[in-house]
Amino acid sequence: MRYLTIALGKGRLADNTMKLFQEIGITCEEMKDKNSRKLIFVNEEKRLKFFLAKGPDVPTYVEYGAADIGVVGKDTILEENRRNYEVLDLAFGKCRMCVCGPESAGELLKHHEMIKVATKYPRIAKDYFYNVKHQTVDIIKLNGSIELAPIVGLSDVIVDIVETGSTLKENGLTVLEEICPLSARMIVNRVSMRMEYERINKIINDLKGKL
Ligand code: PRP
């Protein structure tokens, strides 16, 4: 039997995924060692391989077939826009993609003015402003701490993930519009879905039973 390979986004996403997998009898002892710098882990008995990648790279590994299955946030799936099947909402890592800014920026959104939007998610921001709101905007790509942008005058608003809302609150910003809900999702390579249908479908169904 060939290995089924599962790509996980490093960090909390991978930890939560392994907890869920443990509930359906899939474990990986090697992975529990938090001090390890290893990136690939094997469950010989079940012929499974797990590897840890940067979140945004997970859909790429899956699209090219280097991984059969991936677990990654819906934000990453939308932003990377890779050709994979999204098969399951794992219901953890729940948060929202929002347009945020100072209260005063709300007016700029109402009147379809040309505004500056800072974000780590240019594709999601572009799709929302161009195709949903029909508003022409200037999108500025940043790599993190997005909340800084409107505070220091780089942008009028931001498009970013809001979980508890405390980062916004502590920086005097607020949610102005909600784009979409987010959570961790399972994705599958399109060829693997056909070639390994039984094994992959069993994992999906077992997980469904626990959600
Ligand atoms: C994310 C996101 C927000 C924050 C939201 O940032 O970009 O900044 O978490 O969470 P909250 O609503 O619970 O405060 P992350 O910590 O991933 O770091 P980053 O800003 O460097 O992307």
Mutate to test the pocket of ligand 1, among 76, 163, 182 (most ligand atoms within 8 A of CB): 163
Nearest-CA residue for ligand 1 atom 19 is 144
The tens digit of pLDDT for each residue in 121-175 reads 999 999 999 999 999 999 999 999 999 999 999 999 999 999 999 999 999 999 9
Instruction: Tell me what the pLDDT averaged over the chain comes to.
Output: 96
Please report the atom of ligand 1 found closest to the CA of residue 162. Answer: 12
Query: Residue 144 CA: which ligand 1 atom is closest?
Result: 21
Q: Which CATH superfamily is domain 95-181 in?
A: Periplasmic binding protein-like II (3.40.190.10)
What DSSP string runs through the chain? -PPEEEEEETTHHHHHHHHHHHHTT---GGGG-TT----EEEETTTTEEEEEE-GGGHHHHHHTTS-SEEEEEHHHHHHH--S-EEEEE---S-EEEEEEE-GGGHHHHHTT--EEEEES-HHHHHIIIIIIS---EEEEE-SS-TTHHHHTTS-SEEEEEESSSHHHHHTT-EEEEEEEEE-EEEEE-HHHHHHTHHHHHHHHHHHHHH-
Ligand 1 centroid to Cα of residue 67, in Å, is 27
Q: Is the CB of 25 under 6 A from ligand 1?
A: no
Where does the chain hold its CATH 3.40.190.10 domain(s)? 4-93+183-210, 95-181
pLDDT tens per residue across span 27-75:
888 888 878 888 899 999 999 999 999 999 999 999 999 999 999 999 9
The class level of CATH for 4-93+183-210 reads alpha beta
Closest residue by Cα to atom 20, ligand 1, is 145
Residue 104 Cβ contacting ligand 1 at under 6 Å: no
Ordered strands of the 184-188 beta sheet: 40-43, 48-53, 4-9, 69-73, 184-188, 85-89
